[in-house]
Structure 1
Amino acid sequence: MDLREELPSDRQAVRDVHLQAFGDHGRVVADLVDTLRDTITPENGLSLVAERDGQVVGHVMFTRSLLDAPRQLVEVQVLSPLAVLPEFHKRGVGSALVRHGLGILTERTVPLVFVEGDPGYYSRFGFSPGGGLGFRKPSLRIPDGAFQAIRLPEYEPWMTGTLVYAEPFWRHDAVGLREAAT
């Protein structure tokens, strides 16, 4: 398996990965990816693919958001979304993408990465509940356990406060859980 930065020629394959991985929610996630992609620059953010035998089988994005800390705004990254084709689940594809991305962000001197996801999965990479680390979630719709953060070497103890998601997350209504329509 090869891990590399997403290329323009990967766009449809990446979209297909999200459509298949997220089922009914796939279109929202795929549209979010298409919008977030435009916010990534060489210095800020990351879009990685996992490729096996010439096929894109997984994708992860890290995008710029802000931590509203008492001292000043802090540029942080949000890991979202992460997707792997269903037939490649439980083969280490997602884990490899997350670890590779965190390594690159550490080299880029990013202080914090946030994620909204399964604590049983993300804790293996060093993510911990954000509330216990001095962070406030950007929406009450995010379950406490799902709001997680990892402090990288550039983190400083004064960096506490509220995560402010980048605008595309709000535009696509991709923050927290919505109640099912009755």
Structure 2
Amino acid sequence: MEIRTERISDYDEVFQLNYLAFKNREDESRLIERIRLSKQFIPELSLVAEENNHIVGHALFSKAEVIDGEKNHDVIVLAPVAVLPSNQKKGIGSILIQEGLKRCTELGYDFVFLIGHPTYYPKFGFKPARKYGFELKQFNVSDEVFMVYELTQGNTNSLQGELRYPETFFV
């Protein structure tokens, strides 16, 4: 299996993968399309897992911001992550997430946020974000599913505020 940056030629296959992974819903696939067309899209943070010339997994990391009073701080949000149903439970999602976190670090970002399963994401080091002074008002979610990953250790003390997802998440 190869983890690589998504190519334009992968778009249709990634759409179908997300459609199947999210139980025949187009919401996540359409979100990906909107993010790709936005200024928050970072091409090298759209990752695919390829096996036998077929895409079996996809993870998208894109820009968002934390607002702290008058200050805006660029951060990354992870959404969505998908693996073909026939390939789930094989660690593909984990490999995509780990590669994405590595790339986010290399690009100089300090934080990655997500809304996700409270028992899955902590194994990568994601922690409840509100505990560190971050707020999320755009979505009504519990503390346990709103999480942050500190790319540079010790930075959770340097920033607090409201995470704001880009408008592309709400169209």
TM range (shorter): over 0.9
Question: Which residue matches 1:168?
Answer: 168
Confirm whether residue 49 of structure 1 aligns to residue 48 of structure 2. Answer: yes
Amino acid at match of 2:33: D
Question: Which residue matches 1:175?
Answer: none
Question: Which residue matches 1:16?
Answer: 16
Question: Which residue matches 2:96?
Answer: 97
Structure 2 runs not aligned, ≥5 long = none
Question: Which residue matches 1:180?
Answer: none
Aligned length in residues? 168
RMSD across aligned positions (CA): 1.5
Q: CA deviation at 1:115?
A: 0.6
Q: CA deviation at 1:141?
A: 1.9
Question: Which residue matches 2:108?
Answer: 109
* Partners of 1:37 and 1:47 within 8 A in 2: no
Cα distance in 2 between the residues matched to 1:110 and 1:151? 9
Q: Could you tell me the TM-score, scaled by structure 2's length?
A: 0.93
Cα distance in 2 between the residues matched to 1:67 and 1:18? 27
Of the structure 1 ranges 141-150 and 78-87, higher mean CA displacement relative to structure 2 is found in: 141-150
Q: Could you tell me the TM-score, scaled by structure 1's length?
A: 0.87
CA separation of 1:130 and 1:156: change in aligned 2, threshold 3 A: closer
What's the secondary structure of 2:3's corresponding residue? strand
Runs (4+) of structure 1 exceeding 4 A deviation are none
Amino acid at match of 1:31: R
Question: Which residue matches 1:38?
Answer: 37
1:38-94 deviation digits (Å, cap 9, x = unpaired): 23245xx71000000110000000010000123611000000000000011110100
The 5 Å alignment of 1:1-182 reads 1-24=1-24, 26-39=25-38, 40-41=41-42, 46-70=45-69, 72-153=71-152, 155=155, 157-171=157-171
What's the secondary structure of 1:136's corresponding residue? strand
